[in-house]
Amino acid sequence: MAVGEDVLPALHPIAGLRLGTASAGVKKPGRRDLVVIELAVDATSAGLFTRNAFCAAPVQVARNHLAQAAPRYWVINTGNANAGMGADGLIRAESVCAALAAQTGVATAQVLPFSTGVIGEPLPAERIVAALPAAVAALDADGWALAAEGILTTDTRPKGASRRVRLPGGATLTVTGIAKGAGMIRPDMATMLAFVATDARVGAPLLKKMLVAAAEKSFNRITIDGDTSTNDALMLAATGAVAAELDGATLAALGDAVTEVCTDLAQAVVRDGEGATKFLTIAVAGGSSSAECLAVGYAVAESPLVKTALFACDPNWGRILAAIGRARVDALDVERISVWLDEVLIAERGARAASYTEAAGQDVMARAEITIRIELGRGTCAETLWTTDLSYDYVRINAEYRT
Amino acid sequence: MAVGEDVLPALHPIAGLRLGTASAGVKKPGRRDLVVIELAVDATSAGLFTRNAFCAAPVQVARNHLAQAAPRYWVINTGNANAGMGADGLIRAESVCAALAAQTGVATAQVLPFSTGVIGEPLPAERIVAALPAAVAALDADGWALAAEGILTTDTRPKGASRRVRLPGGATLTVTGIAKGAGMIRPDMATMLAFVATDARVGAPLLKKMLVAAAEKSFNRITIDGDTSTNDALMLAATGAVAAELDGATLAALGDAVTEVCTDLAQAVVRDGEGATKFLTIAVAGGSSSAECLAVGYAVAESPLVKTALFACDPNWGRILAAIGRARVDALDVERISVWLDEVLIAERGARAASYTEAAGQDVMARAEITIRIELGRGTCAETLWTTDLSYDYVRINAEYRT
């Protein structure tokens, strides 16, 4: 299940970047499970990685390589996360990088590996290496859509987004990205796998700032089940194919486009959340700090009781109040709190709103996309995040994942 | 579903305490849903209440009354939590107390109200008041088992425990308790509803200390779904019927008995967790502080991915490592971590154990009661907590609760 339309938008090619997808048979024979992304010689890259202490081997290798050299290749396999495998996992991840480097004539440190899939099984590196020539032969600037398919695991649909920014001189900058991820998503610094690129020329330090700002409003504001993966990575490349020098206003517009692409991708991940039947926006306002807005937002977004009530289309606003109440906000005055489901005020001054009717609540609950708006009445800070309901299918998918 | 045998142990009467159960028709006609517990004139009481900022009206009233006077009556209804109802909820809770006080000739402040059930609907106080005479008429020192039934909501079985402590002089102290609660259980200071009593003579301040110590090792170490109720309360009374002065050793023995009764009740709540098919002990050792052991323990105990894998009898140890890794323990060295499922070492030095076989993992997973033991290799602190798996039935029960 997934919420909203299943249409991959047009993914504009990025000059200076090509993508090749092949079948390595990592988990299942025949499925396209290997993607190689090639970056121009003078491209810059920035990356954000999981903060899970058990970060997977490819994350360790990617972080290490990124510190040594400007990447020329990103290589992504699905079906196996190469996580929890100790030193052997590192050797296997390095061997994939070395093979691709040898084949393309770059240094091993110029190749970043990414893996997603089951944790705790040896990466079949030899099968991946054997399929690299096919992926390299398939490299194509129009390879985005195939690559979007090639990086999926339990996702039910590919995820991509694209934006264009017109420059004052008439040139156009493009930002395009793809993502995978359907569960185990509670980002902190980065989340699941996402690969975004632009044809602008941007120095690596500035690119990193742009990526951090974008993540903070997109991938760091979504949650499915509170779990943070061992393999999460978010990459942004700038190929420099559009050579124009960018002034402050243009850089800001480019940054906005990157944030928009990341937000589209992050929301697409939530819409495709495991077993999702609803897409929920949790908007918390009136907080005295951003942190307390997020604490309240995540308490609501991750409450199994709130999520099962939403799955059941039950306007059980009491569970929302209970979740707000346990968010550990200092000296929270429940008398100041109001809660809306879309346009319907359901609770005010910490109790059921006088104007609220069960019929009005039911009407909202029938919708596939719902905003829970919470006013704390303590200040001027606000935060928005996105999540899903909790359904039978979430349990089924996660109970059957390895079988 | 529930884990383990469905046998209510013998609940020894407590001299100086009587329980009466009646049917008020709060939610369904005919079901026994009202319990009155009468304490001796010189009994002492101690209470621990939810830390949820949206604490229900009965919690506010009980806390307030407890600060004013020594309670003579505890009155408990199921079917309606009287939570999220603002000032009207307080009035209704007070009206129940006032009616029972008038009927029994005590002050209103000597009556403590407790409610459990659906949040956000007006308490049918008039129906409860109408049934109070029947409950009072039924008061009986042997009323524990009926009362254990009378306080249930989505529980599938009554929960009770009893212990006896032999005094050096030949007299015997008794501790007996009952509890309800099957979901929405992530205690902090107290959890769900539990009523425990002893016939010993213990001053109120000492009784409170005894209760805090017991809760810290029992109700504060369980979780079903990370949610904390608006209505949680844990009460301990000492009737003083056994007049013996207690020395240090005897007080310690009594405290142990209270902790044992609370632990039995807390574990019974977990065994009856909504949709539970497994009873899980999470034992974290080798921490440099109690807090970090608990952080790791709760991250594992509340991970939906770990819980669904357990439901599926899938020894997906990678999900356990991932949950440990995201517990935000400072400078966690994964190389020092080992994890066991019962007697089977599944991970060591942060990766799959060399000796581990899928067959051994499957063998453990087939069991209904499993201990996940985690060694952090950082220090000498340890903590143990208890939880359940996450099943289809958890979703079904919580999606259908109000229908």
Residue A189 clears pLDDT 50, i.e. is over it: no
- Which residues in chain B are closer than 8 Å to A225, comparing Cβ atoms? 303-305
Span A44-57, average pLDDT: 89
Structure letter (DSSP) for residue B9: P
Residue A397 clears pLDDT 80, i.e. is over it: no
Give chain A's mean pLDDT: 90
Give the rounded percent of residues in chain B with a pLDDT score beyond 90. 64
A227 near B CB under 8 A? yes
A350 near B CB under 8 A? yes
Catalytic residue among B21, B108, B116, B191: B191
Q: ipTM score here?
A: 0.71
Dihedral sign computed on CA atoms, order A97, A99, A103, A105:
positive
Q: A326 and B227 in contact by Cβ < 8 A?
A: yes
Task: Provide the pLDDT for residue B313.
Answer: 83
- Which residues in chain A are closer than 8 Å to B329, comparing Cβ atoms? 53
**Buried b or exposed e, range A269-302, using 16+ CB within 10 angstroms:** bbbbbbbbbbbbbbbbbbbbeeebbbbbbbbbbb
Residue A234 clears pLDDT 80, i.e. is over it: yes
Span B41-49, average pLDDT: 95
Which of A228, A314, A402 is facing B314, going by the closest CB pair? A402
Question: Is the pTM higher than 0.95?
Answer: no
Q: What domains can be seen in chain B, in order of their start residue?
A: 17-271 (3.60.70.12), 279-399 (3.10.20.340)
A346 near B CB under 8 A? no
Instruction: Quickly count: other Cβ atoms within 10 Å of residue A338's Cβ.
Output: 18
Structure tokens at A90: 């590192």
Which of B322, B400, B403 is facing A230, going by the closest CB pair? B322
Task: Provide the pLDDT for residue B191.
Answer: 44
Q: Per residue in A221-233, pLDDT tens?
A: 887 655 566 778 9
Q: Are the C-beta atoms of residues B389 and A399 closer than 8 Å to each other? A: no
Task: Provide the pLDDT for residue B372.
Answer: 96
CA-based R_g, chain B, Å: 22
- Which residues in chain B are closer than 8 Å to A392, comparing Cβ atoms? 392, 395-396
Cα A283 to Cα B123: distance, rounded to the nearest angstrom: 31
Task: Provide the pLDDT for residue B311.
Answer: 85
Task: Provide the pLDDT for residue B1.
Answer: 63
Q: A86 and B225 in contact by Cβ < 8 A?
A: no
A191 a catalytic residue: yes
In the 3-class helix/strand/coil scheme, how is chain A assigned residue by residue?
CCCCCCCCCCCCCCCCEEEEEECCCCCCCCCCCEEEEEECCCCEEEEEECCCCCCCHHHHHHHHHHHHCCCCEEEEEEEECCCCCHHHHHHHHHHHHHHHHHHHCCCHHHEEEEEEEECCCCCCHHHHHHHHHHHHHCCECCCHHHHHHHCCCCCCCCEEEEEEEECCCCCEEEEEEEEECCCCCCCCCCCCEEEEEECCCCCHHHHHHHHHHHHHCCHHHECCCCCCCCCCEEEEEECCCCCCCCCHHHHHHHHHHHHHHHHHHHHHHHHCCCCCCCEEEEEEEEECCHHHHHHHHHHHHCCHHHHHHHHCCCCCHHHHHHHHHCCCCCCCCHHHCEEEECCEEEEECCEECCCCCHHHHHHHHCCCEEEEEEECCCCCEEEEEEEECCCHHHHHHHHHCCC
A153 near B CB under 8 A? no
Residue B183 clears pLDDT 80, i.e. is over it: no
Contacts with B, A 276-305, CB within 8 Å: 302-305
Alpha-carbon separation of residue A260 from A63, A182, A194, B44 (angstroms): 25, 20, 14, 62
Q: B186 and A326 in contact by Cβ < 8 A?
A: yes
- Which residues in chain A are closer than 8 Å to B311, comparing Cβ atoms? 395, 399
Residue B141 clears pLDDT 80, i.e. is over it: yes
Q: Per residue in B224-251, pLDDT tens?
A: 655 566 778 999 999 999 988 899 999 9
Q: Which residues face A176 on adjacent strands?
A: A162, A197
Task: Provide the pLDDT for residue A322.
Answer: 85
Cα B234 to Cα B220: distance, rounded to the nearest angstrom: 11
Structure tokens at A341: 């489901």
Which of A85, A225, A309 is facing B351, going by the closest CB pair? A85
Q: A120 and B304 in contact by Cβ < 8 A?
A: no
Instruction: Quickly count: other Cβ atoms within 10 Å of residue A369's Cβ.
Output: 12
Which of B54, B227, B390 is facing A305, going by the closest CB pair? B227
- Which residues in chain A are closer than 8 Å to B227, comparing Cβ atoms? 303-305, 319, 322-323, 326
Q: Is B31 helix (H, G, I), strand (E, B) or coil?
A: coil
Q: Per residue in B330-365, pLDDT tens?
A: 889 988 999 999 999 999 988 889 899 989 999 999
